[in-house]
């Protein structure tokens, strides 16, 4: 997986740069070996996944040692953090980038061993740990390198969080496998993307929509080789503005924590707004449509799939059809003429995508109900021009402000799971089974002032 650390691309002083600090492959390898020596033999280990060289060294160390790394969101509140540490059984380690263990001699690692455990939200309950093997990650990165003509000639630029597939698997391990230089900008700001002078750029749609709102920053990307968007649907107007301002069409690709990236546009291929391309080599897809319909659930199989949810064989089994295809929960259509896939929505409204983050309504509802002044809560994602969807919380509560409720969720879970808007209601409408009727909330309730 860590081809660049074997020296085949040579060394370079500026191989990896994160938030302004730079390391060579040799320095990175030394720090990764120190991590591997520390964690060798453990079932798993956790790191606070700040945007830093330490996180890069931790993930590389995990691969060397064959011990899965659990990247903790740095802003995870106590509820989320305790759950992840308890559920994974991972001990939290501190990485010291300056530490050296050149004497560490390595260990035998099997391709099927888990390399990462990424926590991701379902519609209900706390997040589940997704086991990703080295083999699945390597298969995905190799397929993407082919699709995007991604090589050691590239400089990859992004500023995405290092605790999800997009920023960590593609954005860090992808660079270490292909040998492309990596510039992580700390945060995905248009100005920082413009200054980085890369050839290959990654962003979620919110980042691209902020880039086109900053025309000089967008113009600075004209010389790049490839702009890639993923993690949520890229609005067609943003696609067109990117083309107008940079002279190039963005490549869209589709994926999930459980499947890695499975469908993508190709460098030099036909790229149309609203489509996410065709399956990567080794991936098979199908749309489970009702008779007579052309859209339905997207299901897939292939070498990039996860090894299961940690400690949840039932949840793992429920994610597959009887004939062994993974159920994405996304509703899709496949163009008969050219096989291009369109993602048209999600089967469940209880999975929200906000700023490219996947957020389960149930997890936010549980956090809200932990507030002593909140007696009922229902959470929905409503369309938002910047975030794709924004989290709106409907609550039955007295003696508490919207700002206090927002701050409470931000402190208990991760900051990005906080409601952007809190609406106070007299009651949450429910059906005969007691399940909230969220569609009624959206049509009936008056809007309140948005919270930050
Ligand atoms: C505001 N803040 C608060 C707060 N209100 N903090 C605590 N409590 C409150 N009540 C502040 C924080 O201090 C922080 O400040 C800032 O708000 C962070 O908020 P945010 O919500 O993160 O900022 P925002 O600008 O809305 O973020 C947009 C974004 C972000 C695009 C930068 O959403 C993002 O990074 N998205 C990427 C998600 C991603 O990588 N998904 C991939 C999943 S993998 P400060 O000072 O810290 O800024 C996947 C597979 C695939 O999907 O296909 O790729
Ligand atoms: P996550 O598990 O955080 O990786 O989120 C996966 C989900 O993100 C998928 O199930 C899709 O709903 C969504 N997603 C990812 N990429 C795209 C894309 N290019 N277009 C539309 N939705 C996407």
User: pLDDT, tens digit, for every residue of 1-37?
Assistant: 899 999 999 999 999 999 999 999 999 999 999 999 9
Q: Is the distance from the beta carbon of residue 164 to the nearest atom of ligand 1 less than 6 Å?
A: yes
According to CATH, where is 3.40.50.12780 located in the chain? 3-256
Q: Is the pLDDT of residue 104 over 90?
A: no
pTM of this prediction? Answer: 0.96
The predicted structure's pLDDT at residue 444 = 60
Find out whether the beta carbon of 207 lies less than 6 Å from any atom of ligand 1.
Answer: yes
pLDDT of residue 422: 98
Distance 321 CA to ligand 1 centre (A): 34
Task: Give the model's pLDDT for residue 107.
Answer: 81
Q: Is 353 a residue whose pLDDT tops 80?
A: yes
* Topology annotation, domain 351-447: GMP Synthetase; Chain A, domain 3 (3.30.300)
Smallest CA separation from ligand 2 atom 7, residue:
256
Closest ligand 1 atom to residue 355 Cα is: 33
For atom 20 of ligand 2, the residue with the nearest CA is: 233
* Ranges 75-79, 177-181, 246-250, 419-423: which has the least confidence: 75-79
Decide if pLDDT at 452 tops 70.
no
- Ligand 1: distance of its center to the CA of 162 in Å? 12
Interval 195-246: pLDDT, tens: 999 999 999 999 999 999 999 999 999 999 999 999 999 999 999 999 999 9
Whether ligand 1 lies within 6 angstroms of the CB of 416 is answered as: yes
CA of 358, closest atom in ligand 2: 3
pLDDT > 70 in the chain, percent: 98
Residues forming CATH 3.30.300.30 domain(s) in the chain: 351-447
User: What digits encode the pLDDT tens for the residues 306-340?
Assistant: 999 999 999 999 999 999 999 999 999 999 999 99
Report the topology of domain 3-256: Rossmann fold (3.40.50)
> Does residue 160 line the site of ligand 2, with CB under 6 A?
no
pLDDT higher than threshold 70 for residue 451: no
pLDDT surpasses 70 at 297:
yes
Tens digits of per-residue pLDDT, 266-289? 999 999 999 999 999 999 999 999
The 3-class SS string of the chain reads: CCHHHHCCCCCCCCCEEECCEEECHHHHHHHHHHHHHHHCCCCCEEEECCCCHHHHHHHHHHHHHCCCEEEECCCCCHHHHHHHHHHHCCEECCCCCCCCCCCCCCCCCCCCCEEEEEEECCCCCCCEEEEEEHHHHHHHHHHHHHHHCCCCCCEEEECCCCCCHHHHHHHHHHHHHHCCEEEECCCCCHHHHHHHCCCEEEECHHHHHHHHCCHHHHHCCCCCCEEEECCCCCCHHHHHHHHHHHCCCCEEEEEECCCEEEEECCCCCCCCCCCCCEECCCCEEEEEECCCCCCEEEEEECCCCCCEECCCHHHHHHCECCCCCEEEEEEEEECCCCCCEEEEEECCCCEEEECCEEEEHHHHHHHHHCCCCEEEEEEEEEEECCCEEEEEEEEEECCCCHHHHHHHHHHHCCHHHCCCEEEECCCCCECCCCCECHHHHHHHCCCCCECC
């Amino acid at each position: 997986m860590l081809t660049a650390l074997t020296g085949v691309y040579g060394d370079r002083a500026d191989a990896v740069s994160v938030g302004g600090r730079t390391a060579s492959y040799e320095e990175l390898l030394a720090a990764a070996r120190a991590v591997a020596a520390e964690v060798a033999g453990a079932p798993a280990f956790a790191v606070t996944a700040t945007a830093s060289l330490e996180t890069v060294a931790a993930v590389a160390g995990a691969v060397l040692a064959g011990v899965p790394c659990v990247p903790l969101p740095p802003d995870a509140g106590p509820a989320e953090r305790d759950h992840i540490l308890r559920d994974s059984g991972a001990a939290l380690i501190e990485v010291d980038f300056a530490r050296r263990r050149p004497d560490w001699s390595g260990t035998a690692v099997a391709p099927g061993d888990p390399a990462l455990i990424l926590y991701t939200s379902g519609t209900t309950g706390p997040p589940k740990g997704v086991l990703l093997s080295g083999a699945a990650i390597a298969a995905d990165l190799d397929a993407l390198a082919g699709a995007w003509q991604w090589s050691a000639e590239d400089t990859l630029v992004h500023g995405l969080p290092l605790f999800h597939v997009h920023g960590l698997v593609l954005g860090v391990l992808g660079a270490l496998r292909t040998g492309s230089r990596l510039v992580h900008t700390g945060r995905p700001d248009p100005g920082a993307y413009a200054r980085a002078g890369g050839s290959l750029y990654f962003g979620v749609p919110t980042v691209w929509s902020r880039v086109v709102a900053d025309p000089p920053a967008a113009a600075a990307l004209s010389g790049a080789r490839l702009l890639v968007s993923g993690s949520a649907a890229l609005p067609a107007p943003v696609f067109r503005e990117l083309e107008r301002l940079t002279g190039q069409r963005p490549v869209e690709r589709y994926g999930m924590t459980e499947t890695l990236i499975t469908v993508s546009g190709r460098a030099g291929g036909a790229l149309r707004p609203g489509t996410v391309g065709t399956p990567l080599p080794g991936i098979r897809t199908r749309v489970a449509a009702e008779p007579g319909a052309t859209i339905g659930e997207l299901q897939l199989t292939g070498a990039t799939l996860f090894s299961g949810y940690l400690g949840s064989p039932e949840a793992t089994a429920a994610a597959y059809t009887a004939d062994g295809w993974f159920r994405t929960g996304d509703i899709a259509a496949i163009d008969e003429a050219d096989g291009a896939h369109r993602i048209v929505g999600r089967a469940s409204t209880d999975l929200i995508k906000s700023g490219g983050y996947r957020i389960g309504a149930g997890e936010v509802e549980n956090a809200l109900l932990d507030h002593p002044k909140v007696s009922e809560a229902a959470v929905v994602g409503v369309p938002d021009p910047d975030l794709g969807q924004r989290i709106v919380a409907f609550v039955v509560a007295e003696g508490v402000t919207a700002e206090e409720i927002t701050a409470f969720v931000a402190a208990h879970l991760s900051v990005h799971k906080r409601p952007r808007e809190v609406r106070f209601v007299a009651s949450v409408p429910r059906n005969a089974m007691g399940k909230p009727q969220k569609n009624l909330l959206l049509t009936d309730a008056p809007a309140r002032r948005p919270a930050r």
